[in-house]
Structure 1
Amino acid sequence: MAPKFSIPTAPGAMPVLLPFRMRGPAADPFGTLRFLAAIPWRWLLAMVALWPAIAFAQSGVAAEGAYRILMRWIPFLFTQGFLFNVVISVLAMALGTLVGAFAGLGLIARNRMLRGAVQVYVSFFRNAPWLVLLFIILLAFPFEIRAFGTTIPLPGWIKTVIGLALPVSANVAEVVRGAVQSVPTAQWEASESLAFSRRQTVWQIILPQCVKRMLPPWMNWYAIVTMSTPLCSLLGVGEIISLTRQAMEAEGNSPELLIPFYGFVLLLFLLYCYPIALLTQRLERRFAVKL
């Protein structure tokens, strides 16, 4: 973009550089899934069909040998690895949604102290790096809890669920707040004219209308959490990335297996998140607020 100058008419005055005007689309909260959903399904099928040949050709190892090695490990990597990633994402999203829903209601509370405390919580965890939070949770939480003579273990995957749920809850809180504030004020005024209390208005009138508004961004965040679960491998959790490394070490840790094995991991996440992206895009168009 070329700079623009303002040429003053006064004698001896110097030209003034005007501020830049940034032109372009506004920030898209669904950018991650929009990009994924923009991939034509025919391209996706072609990728699935051509992926083994491309990966083996780039690896430099015989396709038959690499394919045989990968096929031997696919059931183990899928059932013991990828499905565990899905379980972690579901639990983290469920916990984050539960906490985030109450935090979102706290952001619109009339009590100023409560609203301020929740705002600090939301602002902190929305801007905190996820990997740093995971390490803090791993090191700060004990490995077991003893209560009433009973020892309750806290394995790494439970700490991972808590670590992922914290930033998710902060972002879900903003989703809830935005959905509630998007409801026309006439709904609030009508409920007050009918002698509804604020609690009745929120739970019986406002929140039922917010569900369809919150669903697309909620699904977007679930896809983001799912794609973030490989971070658990840095904490020693036995998910798909950790098991993939173990499988390659069991096969001699040959560098020629990097592309086939990690390509298979990439393919699993793509096949899982792509339908979510398409569904999110469809729901967004269906539930778009008509102004």
Structure 2
Amino acid sequence: MANDLALNPGSRGSLRGRSFGLLRDPWVILLSALAALGAAWAATGTAPAAVQALWHWSPALLRGMGVNIQISVLAMALGTAAGLAVGALSLSPSRLLRRLTRAYVLLFRNAPILVLVYFTTYVFPFELSAGRWTVPFPDWIKVVIGLGLPASANVAEIFRGAIQSIPSAQWEAAQSLSLRRAQIFRMIVLPQCVRRMLPSWMNLYASITMSTSLASLVGVHDLVDTATVASNTVARSDFTILVYFTLLALFFAYCYPIARWTRYLERRHEHH
């Protein structure tokens, strides 16, 4: 084989390309690492104490990940609803509305997410009172609002860009058919906007999901907070390393398929 490689340098390059292609796939690296760990534990006959502790804490960690996913879904739903409204207003004929929406987008797109999370947590009241009724205002809802604000600003920009990317000839052709502006918007523009917005929207959702890790800083019992409690309870350095690697793996396992699907949609949109 060495002689073949010497006689055909191109085969060496293709072999190297295939090897690096495998190494570039994170799933191959992750599965190889897990297989190596499994082989080591099988040789010793027992799992290390840190792994046993991780198995004990795994239900709590999964519940914490569920809290992060819940916050991300609600924040993205809130941000999408508000962003679509702001994006539509940014195309209003009124100069005042355009300026106000532009100021909103610039403010919340450029504000640090951690500052917004702290702002909504400590500025908003801890409970809402209406007459004799008092309703608690939990911290996780404030985090949803804190993450929904930058999400709405980004969705507004994505929506505005998608609308402006529609060729003006389509508007003119629809107007020549005596369609009203609302009908053009609903029947012609919006279906195309959804397809053009989806990759950017999914990228934004993955970013918001990763930002939910900030919720632990304001007392929300999410995945990061659970990992911290577990680390302090077990009080072993090897377990601390393992539990935070597990935290990274859980976020990766949730966000990586979203990133791959986003790339697929982007390539599909380019071909169309």
In 2, Cα distance between equivalents of 1:50 and 1:272 = 23
Aligned to 1:117: 100
Q: Aligned partner of 2:78: which letter?
A: L
Label 1:107 to 1:124 Cα distance change in 2 as closer, same or farther (>3 A): same
Q: 3-state SS of the aligned residue for 1:183?
A: coil
Q: In the alignment, what sits opposite 2:168? A: 185
Q: 1:153 aligns with which of 136, 144, 154?
A: 136
The alignment status of 1:256 with 2:233, answered yes or no, reads no
Q: Verify the 8 A CA contact 2:72 2:144 in the aligned structure 1.
A: yes
- Give the superposed CA RMSD: 2.0
Structure 2 match to 1:24: none
Distance 1:249 1:201 in 2: 59
Q: Give 2:147's match in structure 1, choosing from 164, 189, 201.
A: 164
What is the match of residue 242 of structure 1? Answer: 225
CA distance in structure 2 between the aligned counterparts of 1:51 and 1:111, rounded to whole angstroms: 63
Change (3 A) 1:242 1:189: same
Instruction: Give the C-alpha shift of residue 277 in structure 1.
Output: 1.0
Identity of aligned residues (%): 48
**Superposition pairs for residues 201-280 of structure 1, below 5 Å?**
201-251=184-234, 253-280=235-262
CA-to-partner distance for each residue in 1:59-84, whole Å, 9 max, x for gaps?
A: xxx96111111111011111x20011
Q: Is the 8 A contact 1:146 1:152 kept in 2?
A: yes
Deviation at 1:44, TM superposition (A): 3.9
Query: For the structure 1 residues 204 and 129, does the alpha-carbon distance in structure 2 shift closer, same or farther, using more than 3 Å as the test?
Result: same
Residue 73 of structure 2 corresponds to residue 97 of structure 1? no
1:46 aligns with 2:28: no
Please report the TM-score for the alignment, with normalisation by the length of structure 2: 0.85
What do residues 79-132 of structure 1 show as CA deviations (whole Å, max 9, x unaligned)? x20011000000000000000011111111111111110110001000000001
Matches of 2:113 and 2:38, distance apart in 1:
33
The answer for the alignment partner of 2:8 in structure 1 is none
From 45, 70, 74, the equivalent of 2:58 is 74
What secondary structure sits across from 1:238 in the alignment?
Answer: coil
Task: Give unpaired runs (5+ residues) of structure 1.
Answer: 1-37, 57-61
> Does the 8 Å contact 2:74/2:144 carry over to 1?
yes
Q: Which amino acid aligns with 2:261?
A: L
1:64 matched to 2:57: no
TM-score of the two chains, using structure 1 as the length reference: 0.79
Relative to total residues, which structure has the larger helix share, 1 or 2?
2
- One-letter code aligned to 1:280: T
The CA deviation string for residues 15-41 of structure 1, in whole angstroms up to 9 with x for no partner, is xxxxxxxxxxxxxxxxxxxxxxx6354
Q: Is the 8 A contact 1:48 1:267 kept in 2?
A: no
